[in-house]
A and B are shown apart, each in its own frame.
Chain A
Amino acid sequence: MTTEMGNTRRNPKPYWNPYLAGVLLGLVLLASFVILGAGLGASGGIARIGASLSMCVAASHTLGSEYFGKWGAKPLNYYLVFMFVGTFVGALFSALLANRARIQVERGAAASVPHRLAYALAGGVIIGFASRLAQGCTSGQGLSGGALLLTGSLVFLVCLFASGYATAWFVRRQWHD
């Protein structure tokens, strides 16, 4: 039993053909459009978790604030929060099925853990801020809005890739082997 586990751990199954995985993702998105009438989203759920933590720390300040305040006293009671939880569970299911779940810090062999985590944290803060500003992230604006052919979403996507490529060289070390 132990050896079997060890074997499977060493041999995670390969990822799907990216195009077919993309088609599946597209069908999930289509289902979201048809059933919910709204696309996929992730940053909205995260922001509401942020609002709820902010409520725990300073309830009256949060309720009185202009942005979080309009989400009321129970910001978690929102479909995107549930979608975010679903995303985690769905990915967990897939990762376990393919023996891909493993505790690790993903980084280049030559990069240190703190180095990678510092970048992850900084990137997270920027993205948390940027996706509130743009009213969505890669899922909500890029993918969903793009599939709806919304001008602003496609402008967002173009800007995202443009600045990503412009910045990539400066932060490449975290992936050096």
Chain B
Amino acid sequence: MINTLYSLDALGSSRALFLALLVGFGFGFALERAGFSSSRRLAGVFYFTDMAVVKVMFSALITAMLGLSYMVGFGWMRLDQVFLMPTIYGAQIVGGLLFGVGFVMGAWCPGTAAAGLAAGRIDAFVFLAGTIGGSVLFNELFPVIRSLYTAGDRGTQMIYATVGMSRNGFTLAFTLAAVAAFWLSEWAEKARTGRGPYLGSPFLKAFSLALVVLAGGLFVLSPATAGASAKSAGAATVTATDETVLMEKVEQALDHIEPEELANRLMAGEPNLVVVDVRPAAEFNAFHIRGALNVPLAQLAAALQPYQNRGPIVLYSNGMTHPAQARDSLQRQGFGNVYMLTDGLQGFRDRCLTPVSLRPEPLTTVDAARVNAWRAFFAMPTASAKVGVATAPVSAAMPRVVETDWLAARLGTPGLKVIDLRPQPEYNTAHIPGSLSLNVESFRGNIGGVPSMLLPPPMLAAQFSLMGLQPLDTIVVVSGDKLYDTTLAGMAFERLGHMDYVVMNGGYAKWAQEGRAANAALPAVVESGYPARRDADDFTVDFRTVAAQLGKPGTVIIDVRPADFYTGKKSDEARAGHIPGALNRPFSEDVITSPDKAVTFKPIDALAAAYSQMIPSKDTEVIVHCRTGHQASQTVFVLKRLLGYSSVRWYDAGWTEWAARPELAIANETQDLTGRK
């Protein structure tokens, strides 16, 4: 199996740049050989005087299409190892229409103009200058046309699926259409110019026949390879008829589960639902649906034996082909409960995990809340092995907590912003190159008489703007010896709906201790206009909400202050004690502090075990508080972002407010109400 640089996420490596240069060389050579260094020849296609564009382009397209199909058919590579551009109807229709006008006017396109420039064409030079200008123009107009840029975004769409054909069927039809276009082009040229050297020539006949035979050959190849993989799983050979039946079922969506449905059922914690990712381990480790098992195709039947004919087994990969084959093979072995995820992982990401702010159409509040809930639930790393299959380390899948080497490997990536929360003198002395300094207390202030409250969205957005943060940035927060600074910053990000933030485990102490890069330079910051979203914070509650939950079964209140404050032995507030019924789990128990003050989260397993003692299920209503909301932010983060509790809320005002309101009941050592322990 070939690994493409794209699939290895190595398109940015210097080796990739060199290989791209070589591929480009071949590209330019072929274009020039074809006569695409002549604008007159290119324009000819629109006047039927020189149809070289059709002949060259479709010969190339069909060659590459067939070549790729054979590569995939022989099992040498997979289609998902190639970057598949999304289908965005609005942008591509309008873009295509504009492009056609530009093409016929300029008589160049970007690639051929490079060839034309090489062949000394001044018009190609002028055209390229225009293209650069047009790109700059696009950038300047982007805020105005942003909605068009994403209009009709359907994610990765394959044409054969769109038109309801099998891949091989469409490939053959497309090849036949190209051959017809070749003959029509020859005929048109002959009619128009009197020249038509290839019309009816033995060459064109042989070439046409070769393409059609190769396209037809795929029908012979695909069942054979499908059979081979099925055999290795210990099943009978799959025939072409089965494939057809299967594709029909696929079209009728009989054996599908829609991404939204899967997301909801997973979040609901359906006990017998098994989700299986059939992609290679490397891809699984990079990202997978939370809770999915990673099972190689060959071991599928054996690995899934315990789940046979019990709850639904949902298979997915990036597309349809692999799970379809796998499902067919499982069915032959008596599995009657196998489903495929509609549109695969890509569909799941597009339909469930695309942030509300990036969606082409506005969503209703209900739908937006649903999407936010999905994102919160699925954007989380979990160890997810049930079958004894090797799985990723906890932080590998779209991490919430990253290690120092993760950051070191990504420093300088555009869109990656590092925020250092240590006291300013420490930052000034040395910090991670490019990192921004922030005193996290600047995110808090007095609101309605209550001190130390997280500021409202416009004030946070103003600060984000001054720091040059943008909505699409990935923010890495780095703490000093208070890891809970990072999670308080996280509350600010989440209040503005900025979910793409991660906490660096161990903070700056670990970074420094490992001798990683540091300097004292202040970063260059360009002020941005961070939007002040007001609808993202659905997790902060006030004392009324907490008071209303009192005595209600089913809600767990967790007080994360040190035990002495919880019991009332110590107090630095109006009253001593805790909210009646609240459980005590000091925030400090969720972290480990090394001798040199590097604070890291405890292992997920330990955290999960501790909280499963306190909270009955993942969807139990939980309210977390401390004195001012700072320490509680860490517990909220642990519960929501690391452990996947879906309904965790944050009582920011905390004990400061509760204790100061005499009408609110309290409990303390003398009158304790023990909760579940």
Tell me if B105 is interfacial: C-beta within 8 Å of chain A.
Answer: yes
A92-B118, A124-B102 known; A137+B139 contact, CB < 8 A: no
Check B134–A128 contact: CB distance below 8 A.
yes
Segment 405-421 of B: residues with Cβ below 8 Å from A: 412-415
For B51, the closest partner residue in chain A by CB is: A18
Tell me if A36 is interfacial: C-beta within 8 Å of chain B.
Answer: yes
Q: Which of B25, B61, B63 contacts A93 (CB 8 A)?
A: B25
Check B28–A90 contact: CB distance below 8 A.
yes
State the Cβ distance, A115 to closest chain B Cβ, in Å.
11
Q: Which of A83, A142, A150 contacts B23 (CB 8 A)?
A: A83
A134 neighbours in B (Cβ, 8 Å): 91-92, 94-96, 99
Tell me if B282 is interfacial: C-beta within 8 Å of chain A.
Answer: no
Assembly CA distance A26 to B148 (angstroms): 32
Assembly CA distance A127 to B77 (angstroms): 34
Assembly CA distance A163 to B94 (angstroms): 10
Check B142–A37 contact: CB distance below 8 A.
no
A49 neighbours in B (Cβ, 8 Å): 132
Segment 6-31 of B: residues with Cβ below 8 Å from A: 6-8, 11-12, 16-31
B141 neighbours in A (Cβ, 8 Å): 129
Check A143–B102 contact: CB distance below 8 A.
no
Assembly CA distance A4 to B55 (angstroms): 34
Q: Which of B8, B59, B91 contacts A19 (CB 8 A)?
A: B59
Check B27–A40 contact: CB distance below 8 A.
yes
Tell me if B86 is interfacial: C-beta within 8 Å of chain A.
Answer: yes
Tell me if B548 is interfacial: C-beta within 8 Å of chain A.
Answer: no
Check B123–A95 contact: CB distance below 8 A.
no
Segment 78-124 of A: residues with Cβ below 8 Å from B: 78-80, 82-95, 98, 100-108, 116-117, 119-124
State the Cβ distance, B360 to closest chain A Cβ, in Å.
13
A25-B34, A94-B29 known; A149+B107 contact, CB < 8 A: no
Of B46, B85, B117, chain A has the most CB atoms within 10 Å of the CB of B85
Which segment of B65-73, B287-295, B303-311, B619-627 sits at the interface? B65-73
Interface string of B122-156 (1 = CB under 8 A from A): 11101111111111111111110110110000101
B472 neighbours in A (Cβ, 8 Å): 70
Interface residues contributed by chain B, number (CB under 8 Å): 147
Tell me if B522 is interfacial: C-beta within 8 Å of chain A.
Answer: no
State the Cβ distance, A105 to closest chain B Cβ, in Å.
5
Check A90–B91 contact: CB distance below 8 A.
no
A51-B135, A139-B109, A149-B159 known; A25+B126 contact, CB < 8 A: no
Which segment of B35-43, B323-331, B475-483, B501-509 sits at the interface? B35-43
A64 neighbours in B (Cβ, 8 Å): 468, 526-528
Assembly CA distance A25 to B106 (angstroms): 22
A5 neighbours in B (Cβ, 8 Å): none
B29 neighbours in A (Cβ, 8 Å): 24, 28, 90-91, 93-94
Assembly CA distance A146 to B65 (angstroms): 8
For B145, the closest partner residue in chain A by CB is: A133
Interface string of B93-119 (1 = CB under 8 A from A): 111111111111111111111111111
Check B101–A156 contact: CB distance below 8 A.
no
Interchain pairs with CB closer than 8 A, number: 570
B38 neighbours in A (Cβ, 8 Å): 106
For B91, the closest partner residue in chain A by CB is: A133
Check B60–A25 contact: CB distance below 8 A.
yes
Interface string of B40-64 (1 = CB under 8 A from A): 1101011100001001111111111
Assembly CA distance A39 to B12 (angstroms): 15
Check A67–B138 contact: CB distance below 8 A.
yes
A47 neighbours in B (Cβ, 8 Å): 132, 135, 138
Tell me if A32 is interfacial: C-beta within 8 Å of chain B.
Answer: yes
Segment 149-187 of B: residues with Cβ below 8 Å from A: 149, 154, 156-162, 167, 170-171, 174, 182
For A95, the closest partner residue in chain B by CB is: B119
Assembly CA distance A51 to B100 (angstroms): 24
A39 neighbours in B (Cβ, 8 Å): 82-83
B167 neighbours in A (Cβ, 8 Å): 149
State the Cβ distance, B570 to closest chain A Cβ, in Å.
49
Check B106–A70 contact: CB distance below 8 A.
no
B26 neighbours in A (Cβ, 8 Å): 24, 28, 31, 86, 90
Check A28–B526 contact: CB distance below 8 A.
no
Q: Which of A26, A66, A71, A90 contacts B63 (CB 8 A)?
A: A26
Check A143–B100 contact: CB distance below 8 A.
no
A135 neighbours in B (Cβ, 8 Å): 85-86, 88, 91-92, 95
6 contacts between A and B (CB under 8 A): A22-B56, A66-B142, A85-B21, A95-B37, A123-B101, A138-B103
- Report A's interface with B, CB cutoff 8 A: 15-43, 45-47, 49-51, 53-54, 60-73, 77-80, 82-95, 98, 100-108, 116-117, 119-168, 171-172, 174-175
- Report B's interface with A, CB cutoff 8 A: 2, 4-8, 11-12, 16-35, 37-41, 43, 45-47, 52, 55-65, 67-68, 71, 77, 79, 81-89, 91-124, 126-143, 145-146, 148-149, 154, 156-162, 167, 170-171, 174, 182, 198, 203-204, 207, 412-415, 468, 470, 472, 524, 526-528
Q: List 11 extra interface pairs beyond A27-B64, A119-B105, CB under 8 A.
A: A26-B61, A40-B27, A71-B414, A78-B17, A116-B123, A117-B126, A125-B133, A126-B98, A127-B127, A133-B98, A135-B86
